[in-house]
Amino acid sequence: MQETFSDLIAAEDVLLFVNAAVTATGQREFRSSAGEQRLSLAFLHEYVRVNYRPVYAAALALDINDHNAALIVEHLLRTPKEAGKQEGRLIAARLTRLPPQRVYRLFRALRAAKVNNRRTRAIVREWLAGRADLGHDAVKYRAGLKTAARHAHLPLPHAESGDFLFAPGRRVRYEHALLDAHRRAHYEQGALYELPFTVAEGFAAKHGVPREVFLERIAPRMTRLERLRTARATDLTVMPLTRLALYVLSLPFGERVTRRAELTAALRAAAGRVAGPYAGSWGRVAAVLDDSYSASGSAVKRRRPLAVALGCHFLLEALAAPGAYSAHWTSGADDPLLVRPWGPTPLGTRILDALEGPAPDRLVIVSDGWDNAPPGLAGEVLRVWRTRLDPERRTSAIHVNPVYDADGFDVRRLAPSVPTAGIRDAEDLAALVEIAQFVEGRTGLAELRAYLDRRVELFLKEASR
């Protein structure tokens, strides 16, 4: 059946929202403020929820970022009269994947908005019942748990946790080790090293413990990310690819050179884990990678676009056939370990370099889309290449963009002939190739809905395990 014009518009709207939900976090970007980002996202969420609510809920099953997943849950719970039949299951399943601090923040937002319907209370109750140790949550997420229990009128399953939150002077000691350690840490310095790092920090400051002494003794209680944030030694062999790329870019050039073998091996190992069984299966791959000045990101997303490009570089190297990968950085750099954000964005020139010689099987462009040396050259190169040199589409091309454009309600595109998809982490690159078929316009709304239905089915089946 031939699709109508409204179907094509609907497919475009849905894909635009997916791109935003993957990339946008409501934080400041290189070219837009946090306020502009939040305003743009708020409009987009409201528009898609009102016009395509089933698809809006189904986005919870996609690889969108945690910020937008929490916003979707909040918007769905605010409007229970319009709820679909699978929304409750999708919300419950997605909440189990969100970091607990973000879920508690969501519960606080629901309380501030006075959302306390029966479905909301049931979801809060179910999520809390699934927590492994509410005593731990009472210590680490005290305000969040207290707000959730009070707002949803939920009795806590363990009396000690309830007393700790609502009547802290009732007990002289607790059977739960963490609760009692928190009680003792007020006057006993040694007890703070039994607490989670973020809680122990406050007690260490209260007791006047020197920072270096505190970090040394609390190290066994720190998570991998906490060690990274505090510049403690960390195991690079188990770090996710994009986070590892961020860590590498945070190091001075001298240290990167000194640790070249270690860092390169860690990046390739992380990329190999992501590639998995698809390693070496993409044939000849050419990549155009943006390390221009705008890749520096912003104060709250420092070097994030560049880290995504660096992660994609090593992932594409792993996916390409042995010896069949070429990288073209916009700065002309030939050492990925020493890239830094600087200079203009001559994407058109680098695309010409990537297409010179034997045609690649895949062309991947990682950039924020601001082609400015000269402006518009990349789009024209891609147009001529698609219409004159490769109309049969022997080379598969995709542009992945790690930066949300608040003014355009989407990620910035280079050319209509090459699909653009938003990307948050380099690890998502392979999955975005699947989405590209819809972005490119070869398939329409019916196929897109079928794809979303499959993702929802797999997502719920995995959650039920």
Residues 6+ apart with CB under 8 A from 217: 193
Question: Residue 447: what pLDDT?
Answer: 80
Confidence of residue 224 (pLDDT cuts 50, 70, 90): confident
Within-domain flag for 459: no
Kindly report the CA angle at 31 between 410 and 289, in degrees rounded to 5? 75
* Domain-terminating residue out of 201, 234, 267: 234
Do 292 and 376 lie in a common domain? Answer: yes
Q: Are residues 212 and 246 in the same domain?
A: no
- Which ranges of 79-196 does DSSP label H, i.e. alpha helix? 87-95, 100-112, 118-129, 134-140, 142-151, 159-166, 177-184
Edge-to-edge strand list for the sheet holding 396-401: 325-329, 285-289, 362-366, 396-401, 420-422
Q: How confident is the model at residue 156 (pLDDT cuts 50, 70, 90)?
A: confident
pLDDT at 373 over 90: no
The model's pLDDT over 14-46, given as tens digits with 9 standing for 90+, comes to: 888 999 999 999 999 999 999 999 999 999 999
**Structural domain harbouring 87:** 5-184
Q: Are 49 and 158 members of one domain?
A: yes
**Residue 61 domain-assigned?**
yes
Is 162 inside a domain boundary? yes
By the 8 A CB rule, do 425 and 241 touch? Answer: yes
Q: Is residue 460 part of a domain?
A: no
Of 399, 327, 395, nearest in space to 370 by CA: 399
Mean of pLDDT values over 125-131: 92
Q: What is the pLDDT of residue 85?
A: 82
Asked if residue 421 lies in contact with residue 398, where contact means CB atoms within 8 angstroms, the answer is: yes
Local confidence band at 279 (pLDDT 50, 70, 90 cut-offs): very high
| Integer Cα distance of 24 and 404 in angstroms | 5
Band of residue 459 on the pLDDT scale cut at 50, 70, 90:
very high
In a shared domain, residues 222 and 110 = no
What is the per-residue pLDDT for 263? 96
- Same domain (yes/no): 305, 430: yes
The whole-model pTM stands at: 0.89
Q: Does residue 380 share a domain with residue 246?
A: yes
Residue 67 has pLDDT above 60, yes or no: yes
Question: Chain-wide mean pLDDT for the chain?
Answer: 91
Question: Is residue 146, in this structure, part of any structural domain at all?
Answer: yes
The SS3 of residue 422 is: strand
Same-domain status, 61 and 197:
no
For residues 443-457, give the mean pLDDT.
82
Please count the residues of the chain.
465
- 228 and 203 in one domain? yes
pLDDT of residue 440: 63
User: In whole angstroms, what is the distance from residue 19 CA to residue 461 CA?
Assistant: 25
Band of the pLDDT at 3, cuts 50, 70, 90? low
Residues 96, 142 within the same domain: yes
Closest CA to 273 of 223, 315, 229, 332: 315
Highest mean pLDDT among 3-7, 280-284, 454-458: 280-284
Q: Residues 296, 30: contact at Cβ < 8 Å?
A: yes
Pairing between strand 325-329 and 285-289? parallel
52 vs 438: which has the higher pLDDT: 52
Q: 1 falls in which pLDDT band (50, 70, 90)?
A: very low
- With a cut of 60, say whether residue 442 has pLDDT above it: no
Question: Does 438 score more than 90 pLDDT?
Answer: no
> How many whole angstroms separate alpha carbon 53 and alpha carbon 110?
19
Q: Which H, E and C letters describe 217-241, residue by residue?
A: HHHHHCCHHHHHHCCCCCCHHHCCH
Torsion of CA 227, 230, 231, 235, to 10 degrees: 10
Tell me whether the omega of the peptide bond preceding residue 374 falls within 30 degrees of 0, making it cis. yes
Are 62 and 96 contained in the same domain?
Answer: yes
pLDDT at site 83: 84
Angle value at C-alpha 334, between 328 and 338, nearest 5 degrees? 115
Cα distance between residue 266 and residue 235, in whole Å: 9
CATH number at residue 314: 3.40.50
Give the model's pLDDT for residue 168.
85
Is 462 within a domain? no
Q: Which residues contact 206 (CB under 8 A, 6 or more apart)?
A: none
Q: What is the mean pLDDT of residues 358-380?
A: 93
Work out the average pLDDT over 82-97: 91
CA distance 240 to 308: 12
DSSP state of 387: I
Count how many domains the chain has: 3
Domain assignment of residue 457, yes or no: no
| pLDDT value, residue 274 | 95
Q: Is residue 192 within 8 Å of residue 204, measured between CB atoms?
A: yes
Average pLDDT over residues 61-79: 95
Say if residue 228 is in the same domain as residue 247: no
Q: What is the pLDDT of residue 229?
A: 74
> Between these two residues, 137 and 13, which has the higher pLDDT value?
137
Q: Which residues pair with 362 in a beta bridge?
A: 285, 396
Over the stretch 225-273, which tens digit does the pLDDT of each residue have? 787 777 655 678 888 999 999 999 999 999 999 999 999 999 999 999 9
| Lowest mean pLDDT, pick from 97-111, 158-172, 203-217, 322-336 | 158-172
Residue 319 lies in a domain: yes
Q: Which residue has the higher pLDDT, 343 or 417?
A: 343
- Residues 215 and 91 grouped into a single domain: no
